[in-house]
Amino acid sequence: MSNEENAKKSVDAAKETAGKLFSSMMSLKEKNPKVFFGAVGGVVFLLIVMMVSGGDSETISTAGPKNLVTGQRYVLKNPNTYEVESPIQLLAVPGAIAAFDDSEDEDKGKVESCRRIAQGTAITVVDFQDFAGKKNAFVKVQVEDGDCKGSSGWVLAIDVQ
């Protein structure tokens, strides 16, 4: 027999089995509806329990809050991107949403070019700022490497690793 014939026979067998199962379920529904609907409810309940229960909590790794220390050296790393070339924005003021508007980047000078720092750059923590009810949400850092050595600004605490 060829593979096509075997595949056709297995498809026909599956259709026949599904048809028998469907007809037995319909006859159960006609003869004893309480058992039928109880079985359907039980299957739905088991599916809901399986979806809600989740998995082992130790298998999920997240970038949790880190106890940062003033004066300690760290590196900038954005845990929300896989792109290594993606820079991290240094803010002049913590929480400045307008700082993420890159529409005028072409005309900015050396001072403003030091507002976009490459990931992996060594920094020193200078200060902390709470924001929106979250303790130490922003960290004031001083750049320790590269062309922007000595520059300082605010970054999200999650970007300091």
- Residue 46 is predicted with a pLDDT of 94
> Do 143 and 154 meet the contact criterion of CB atoms below 8 Å apart?
no
- Residue 63 is predicted with a pLDDT of 53
Q: Please, what sign has the CA dihedral across residues 118, 122, 127, 132?
A: positive
Mean pLDDT of 118-126: 88
Does the pLDDT of residue 56 top 70, yes or no?
A: no
Q: Nearest 5°: CA angle at 98, between 140 and 145?
A: 35
The residue count for the chain = 161
Does the pLDDT of residue 143 top 60, yes or no?
A: yes
Banded model confidence at residue 58, pLDDT cuts 50, 70, 90: low
Of 21-30, 58-67, 119-128, give the lowest mean pLDDT range: 58-67
**107 vs 88, higher pLDDT:** 88
Tens digits of residue pLDDT in 18-46: 999 889 889 989 999 999 999 999 999 99
> Do 153 and 95 meet the contact criterion of CB atoms below 8 Å apart?
no
Of 35-44, 92-101, 120-129, give the lowest mean pLDDT range: 92-101
Does the pLDDT of residue 84 top 70, yes or no?
A: yes
**101 vs 146, higher pLDDT:** 146
- Residue 95 is predicted with a pLDDT of 73
